[in-house]
Chains A and B, each alone.
Chain A
Amino acid sequence: MNLVRAELERLSARRFVQLMVLLLVLAFAVTAATTLAGSHKPNADEMNSARAQAAEARQGMEVAFQQCLSRQNGTLPQSEMGQYFPEECSSIDPIRQDRLPIPADYLPGVFSFAGQALPLLYFLIAFLVLFGFLVGASYIGADLNSGGVVNLLLWRPRRLTVLAAKLGTLLGTVLVLALLASVAYLATFWVIGQTAGLPGQLDGDFWRSLGAVHGRGLVLVLLASALGFAIATLGRHTSAALGAAAAYAVLWELGGRLVLEIVDARRPDQLMLSSHVATWLSGRTRFYDPQVCAGSTGTGYCESFYSLNWPTALLVLLVLTGGLTAAAFAVFRRRDLI
């Protein structure tokens, strides 16, 4: 416990951590201020107009769907034959859409919490992932490089305990910070929605969906922190983690993707870490691949899409992070500290 307290003090005193927290607060303040400045509470006329436009849009979708069915049945009047309709009418069936037009869509300059909460949360998670990775890498990297770890080991000559205390302190601190930041962030925008915009439809489904993304985002932040920590431990330096991340992005996500496309590899996206990150956050991701339908006979309908689901994505992320963390502990246990 003493060791964790000492590590907590060291972590919180790091200039880099303080700078990143300042950047977080700054980004938060700028986003909130610009949202507040660009939003207003809609008056009754604006609301009525928006409701009418939304109703009209929903009705238009229903009409288009019915016309599509009529064309399929051969009952569409000749005068309406010039319109475009998809092959499969089910794709424009209003019931099957993710969302239908709502009044908030027709209120320019009005912030809708229900409509904007998810993108705002994604932005925060992206920042926190970057924060966790960089802080995790610099926390151990700088300590290894400057001799801070050696100093500590002279006091507590238990390598695994010291490294575990550092990792535990890092993850605990990042989790608490991410939790507080995200709650404060969402609460601020909720207040903006209530006072200077629209709260939107905040029903159980909305909160459940937002909570799920929030929870998955926090897990991702922790994984990124552990990953930065592990790579910097293996490479003995903060820059090892930064270099590894940059090299991975350039060589594999860009170069590898290009090569896979050239050789017509099947489902290349499932080999990319970014696909699994996106899948883990959203729960399910669809990727386009013309190869998916390459073997179909043409008699049946074939969509050139395939999906990745969150359990697979989580497994990939856990194996990668867990493997590198275990390797970091194994190497650190035997390494000469000079």
Chain B
Amino acid sequence: MSAVIEIEGLRKTFRSLRSGRRVAVDGFDLLVEAGQVHGFLGPNGSGKTTTLRALLGLVRADSGRMTVLGEPSPELLPRVAGQVGAIVESPQFFGNFTGYRTLRLLARAGGVPVSRVDEVLDLVGLHDRGDERVKGYSLGMKQRLAVASALLKDPRLLILDEPANGLDPAGIREMRDLMRSLSANGVTVLVSSHILGEIQLICDHVTIISRGRRVATGRVDEVLAGHDRHEFLVRVAEPERAVELLHAAELTAVVDGGALVVSGVSDPTVVSRVLGEQDLWVGELTPLRPDLESVFLELTGAYEHSSVPRQVGDSSLPQGEAVIDLDRGVDA
């Protein structure tokens, strides 16, 4: 598959008199291939938006190489800009314009047929509200308008920064369906979001960034599998006795609530056999698979039991500079 977005060694430092020097992106790599729906995850202040802004030529990278649809960015981005739809954070629109007029204006500026405006308003569910002024829109409606603006060009590549911001549950589901439908039609999607469950549902690939560096990348199922501790939830009549029996069989088990969590088990039948032989019959044996949220929190250190409130930017750096890349192996 051909690369639609390639970022290698992106580095960006912001300097200001007041707050000094702050490294926003520190040697970040990203590869998005054609046809992927690629999730881009990271805690607040981890460098997601800066990366997207650098990719789209809105901030100047200190170093690194970026290409979009095969063209170096930002130098030759104008060559492919007509095929790239993007929203970065929540775009501000002119409050006095109607949704239709806003899109018509962008269509004119970008040389897109105005007939496309009705199509995209329909796609994002604003067809009947297109003649209302933007200042009267709810946050979710503004977000839909933003997505509509990104779709206006009928793009080959769609870059969406937090597209679900402000959307209600139905809106989130519609957005998910829309992305799936775009992907089915060959559009490559790069989407950043904090709604990890959504990313897990929508995306086939994921890249996780923490403190400006990539900490994981690859197929979603492979990233999850890489963090599978082979844990099982076990329900039995006498949990305390069951723990002793499992320890005797050299298995790790702890009582968690009214159940047991047994870890490091490659074959779950061993658990039922060990307990069954002592007349303890297993009522439930459920594999505890990691979800994207737990992997994300583990990799970024974004959740720790602490009495001190976590601060923006307190996320983890990759241990020993190693990056989990399930497509390429481990980069030192």
- Interface of A with B (CB < 8 Å)? 2-3, 5-7, 9-10, 13, 15, 146-148, 150-158, 334, 336-338
In the complex formed, the residue of A with least CB distance to B57 is A157
Q: Is the CB of A154 within 8 A of B86?
A: yes
CA distance A172 to B58 in the complex (A): 28
How many A-B residue pairs have C-beta atoms within 8 angstroms? Tell me: 73
Looking at B53, B60, B88, B105, the one whose CB has the most chain A CB atoms below 10 A away is B105
Q: Is the CB of B111 within 8 A of A2?
A: yes
Q: Which residues on the A side are within 8 Å of B109 (C-beta)?
A: 2-3, 6-7, 152, 155-156
CA distance A115 to B106 in the complex (A): 50
Given B91, B96, B153, which contacts A150 in the complex, CB threshold below 8 Å? B91
CA distance A155 to B150 in the complex (A): 9
Q: Is the CB of B59 within 8 A of A337?
A: yes
Q: A2-B111, A336-B14 are in contact. List 20 more A-B contacts (CB 8 A).
A: A2-B109, A6-B108, A6-B109, A9-B105, A9-B108, A10-B105, A13-B94, A147-B91, A152-B109, A153-B57, A154-B58, A155-B106, A155-B110, A157-B57, A157-B77, A157-B78, A336-B53, A337-B58, A337-B59, A338-B53
Looking at A10, A146, A157, the one whose CB has the most chain B CB atoms below 10 A away is A157
- Interface of B with A (CB < 8 Å)? 14, 50, 53, 56-60, 74, 77-78, 81, 86-88, 91-94, 96-97, 105-106, 108-111, 149, 153
In the complex formed, the residue of A with least CB distance to B12 is A336
Q: Is the CB of A5 within 8 A of B81?
A: no
Contacts known (A13-B96, A148-B92); A336 close to B58, Cβ less than 8 A: yes
CA distance A2 to B106 in the complex (A): 10
Dominant SS among interface residues on chain A: helix
In the complex formed, the residue of A with least CB distance to B61 is A336
Q: Is the CB of A337 within 8 A of B53?
A: yes
CB distance from B283 to the nearest CB of A (A): 56
CB distance from B77 to the nearest CB of A (A): 5
In the complex formed, the residue of B with least CB distance to A336 is B59
Q: Is the CB of B78 within 8 A of A154?
A: no
CB distance from B78 to the nearest CB of A (A): 5
CA distance A110 to B199 in the complex (A): 79
CA distance A157 to B81 in the complex (A): 7
Q: Which residues on the A side are within 8 Å of B94 (C-beta)?
A: 10, 13, 148
Q: Which residues on the B side are within 8 Å of A151 (C-beta)?
A: 91-93, 106, 149
Looking at B78, B108, B109, the one whose CB has the most chain A CB atoms below 10 A away is B109
In the complex formed, the residue of A with least CB distance to B159 is A154
In the complex formed, the residue of A with least CB distance to B85 is A154
CA distance A157 to B53 in the complex (A): 12
Q: Which residues on the A side are within 8 Å of B14 (C-beta)?
A: 336
Q: Is the CB of B88 within 8 A of A154?
A: yes
Given B58, B96, B97, B105, which contacts A338 in the complex, CB threshold below 8 Å? B58
Q: Which residues on the B side are within 8 Å of A156 (C-beta)?
A: 78, 81, 109-110
Q: Which residues on the A side are within 8 Å of B96 (C-beta)?
A: 13, 15
CB distance from B260 to the nearest CB of A (A): 50
Q: Which residues on the B side are within 8 Å of A155 (C-beta)?
A: 81, 106, 109-110, 153
Contacts known (A2-B111, A6-B109); A154 close to B56, Cβ less than 8 A: yes
Q: Is the CB of B56 within 8 A of A6?
A: no
Q: Which residues on the B side are within 8 Å of A153 (C-beta)?
A: 56-58
Q: Which residues on the A side are within 8 Å of B77 (C-beta)?
A: 157
Given B60, B88, B97, which contacts A336 in the complex, CB threshold below 8 Å? B60
Contacts known (A153-B58, A156-B81); A147 close to B111, Cβ less than 8 A: no
Q: Which residues on the A side are within 8 Å of B97 (C-beta)?
A: 13
Q: Which residues on the A side are within 8 Å of B81 (C-beta)?
A: 154-157
CA distance A156 to B110 in the complex (A): 7
Q: Which residues on the A side are within 8 Å of B149 (C-beta)?
A: 151
Looking at A15, A155, A338, the one whose CB has the most chain B CB atoms below 10 A away is A155
Q: Which residues on the A side are within 8 Å of B86 (C-beta)?
A: 154
Q: Is the CB of B106 within 8 A of A334?
A: no
